Amino acid sequence: MARIQVERAHTLGKDAAREKADKLASKLKDQYGLESSWAGDTLNLKRSGVKGTVKVAEDSLRIEVELGLLMSAMSGTIKSEIEKALDKALA
């Protein structure tokens, strides 16, 4: 099982960062079938073989993803895609 962690600082404030996280979750659902749900300031993401969280703070976003055995082989590619999508979302 592979674990991916990506953190980015932002100056958006918590509410705007939550909106960006929601938009990102919507894209992930459309592209990869990831279901999302909020628990406080944490957005939980899940689908078969993948589970993760997006933790929203006043000045940062932290994404943690656990990949199942089959998805672990693609962890480098997945991490790169997460970083690119997060950078674009926060731009």
Which pLDDT tens digit goes with each residue over 51-90? Answer: 999 999 999 999 999 999 988 988 998 899 889 988 888 8
Q: Does domain 1-88 have CATH number 3.30.310.50?
A: yes
Q: Could you read off the pLDDT of 5-54 as tens digits, one per residue?
A: 999 999 999 999 999 999 888 888 888 889 999 999 999 999 999 999 99
**Residue 32 half-sphere exposure, CB side, CA atoms within 13 Å?**
18
